[in-house]
Amino acid sequence: MIPSLLDLPWLAVLSALSTGLLPTAMASGNTIQNTDPLIYFHGRWDSSPGTWWGGSGFKLNVKNFESLSLNLGPHTTVPNTSVGVSFDYGEFITANISEGSNTVPIPAGLKKGAQESTVVRVNVEGWQNNRMNLESIVLNEGATLAPYKPSDLVFQFIGDSLSAGQFLPKGVDQAWPFVLGEAFKAEHVVIAQPGAALSDIVSFGNEHGVSFQFFRTEDTGYFYTTDHNFTTPWNFARDKPAATHVVIHIGANDAAQNVTDAQFVEVYTNFITRLRTIYEHQPIFVFTPWGWPNPDGTFGQYFEGQYQKIVDSKHADGDENIFLVNTTGWVTFADVFPANQHPTVLGHQHIATKFQAWLENWGLKPESRWATPA
């Protein structure tokens, strides 16, 4: 029998973290168990605990920091998974980790005084082969943990390959949602799956669509994972703090699977209605497609005018806190890989810059500083 997620002690620990009821001492020695409430988990983790969805990971606030090792369990991707590691909000550097003990390289000159903090952020980069089964963390002798304070600004992104960082060297860490979240000094969770439609249909190897999978712990890769080929509901109370802004960019794979305009509008409208049971008052931003750019300057489009219908219908129902983001012209042929028309690293940076300008004009400004100082 699969145990109830609510029966697992590490979830009680996360609950304590969310309420601020934090112990002052860490685990004995410098080995920190995965149940330690001073570990700030973000994204989607199952009960092992193990990651699903690109970008899921954890954050640490460490005093007297010198070294870091990760002890990983058998549910970690074989032969390894790639994670991005950032120190003091610097660039994310890729490390390949696998089951067993993994020493994480530390940049030269990072050592600080005993009372100074180092913020360590670790997340899986990929939309597949992205399972990190965290058993424990080992710090250097004399290092201690302090609470990590999350940002008051929290983005929830929902999408497909155009948001997941497919084809990028560092995966989601170079995708426009991640880049935007960093620019705003915000917490950010990206629930995006290449090939998946919003409609709950089989699409390019995905057994379910995002309208189903968004509400599950696991990404669509669960279907091919023999040690975990089932799904469990995601408890949104575990998102601490809850998202303050929701951004959706999806529809390309629905069009590829011949979903009609009317069907897409119905699915998308119902999806927002369900989102409103979780995000009751948060602004929701609906992206139009930027399309598939061609060398001659033309664009292949899909569901033209339908996103406006979706937003208009919600406004007609009295929900004025939904906003259409017209991305026409945001991506040119120079911004994409010619072979697949997905944005390059530079293309994703251009998208993030344009959306940041849009949001600032709308009224949302980046945080002046990170909530946990380094």
Per-residue pLDDT for 11 more than 50?
Answer: no
Backbone angles phi, psi at 144, to 5 degrees: -135, 155
Q: Which residues contact 288 (CB under 8 A, 6 or more apart)?
A: 307, 308, 324, 325, 326, 327, 328
- The model's pTM is 0.91
- Tell me what pLDDT residue 264 has: 98
Residues 6+ apart with CB under 8 A from 290: 299, 327, 328, 329, 330, 331, 351
Peptide bond into 295 cis (omega under 30): no
According to the model, what pLDDT value does residue 114 have?
75
Average pLDDT of the segment spanning 231-251? 98
Banded pLDDT at 115 (limits 50, 70, 90):
confident
Q: Which CATH architecture group holds 154-362?
A: 3-Layer(aba) Sandwich (3.40)
Comparing CA positions, the residue from 79, 73, 74 lying closest to residue 135 is 73
Look at residue 241 and tell me whether its pLDDT is greater than 70: yes
Say yes or no: do domains 5-146 and 154-362 share a fold: no
User: What percentage of residues in the chain have a pLDDT greater than 90?
Assistant: 89
Q: What is the CA radius of gyration of the chain?
A: 20
| pLDDT per position as a tens digit, 259-302 | 999 999 999 999 999 999 999 999 999 999 999 999 999 999 99
Nearest to 194 by CA among 239, 231, 161, 242: 161
Task: Give the mean pLDDT of the chain.
Answer: 92
* DSSP label at residue 314: H
State residue 19's pLDDT score.
30
Instruction: Give pLDDT tens digits for 22-78.
Output: 332 333 349 999 999 999 999 999 999 999 999 999 999 999 999 999 999 999 999
75 vs 12 pLDDT, higher one: 75
* DSSP per position, 259-306: --HHHHHHHHHHHHHHHTTTSSSS-EEEEPP--EE-TTS-EE--STTH
pLDDT at 17 over 70: no
Residue 109 pLDDT level (bands cut at 50, 70, 90): confident
The pLDDT of residue 5 is 31
Q: How much helix, strand and coil, in percent to the nearest 5, is found in the chain?
A: 25, 25, 50
Taking 60 as the threshold, does the pLDDT of residue 204 lie above it? yes
In the chain, what are the domain boundaries?
5-146, 154-362
* Model pLDDT for residues 334-363, shown as the tens digit of each residue: 999 999 999 999 999 999 999 999 999 999
- Given a contact cutoff of 8 angstroms between Cβ atoms, the answer to whether 358 and 329 are in contact is no
pLDDT of residue 67: 93
- Give the pLDDT band of residue 137 (cuts 50, 70, 90): very high
Rounded to whole angstroms, how far apart are CA atoms 279 and 282?
6
Average pLDDT, integer, range 136-164: 97
Which band of pLDDT confidence, cut at 50, 70 and 90, is reported for residue 20? very low
Q: Which residues of 102-124 are buried (b: 16+ CB within 10 A; e: fewer)?
A: bebebeeeeebeeeebbbbbbbb
Q: Who's near 324: CB < 8 A, 6+ residues apart?
A: 286, 288, 307, 308, 311
Beta strand pairing call for 245-249 and 292-293? unpaired
Q: For residue 113, what pLDDT band results from cuts at 50, 70 and 90? A: confident
**Position 6 confidence tier, pLDDT thresholds 50, 70, 90:** very low
Give the model's pLDDT for residue 357: 98
pLDDT band with cut points at 50, 70 and 90 for residue 242: very high
Kindly report the CATH number that applies to the domain delimited by 5-146: 2.60.120.260
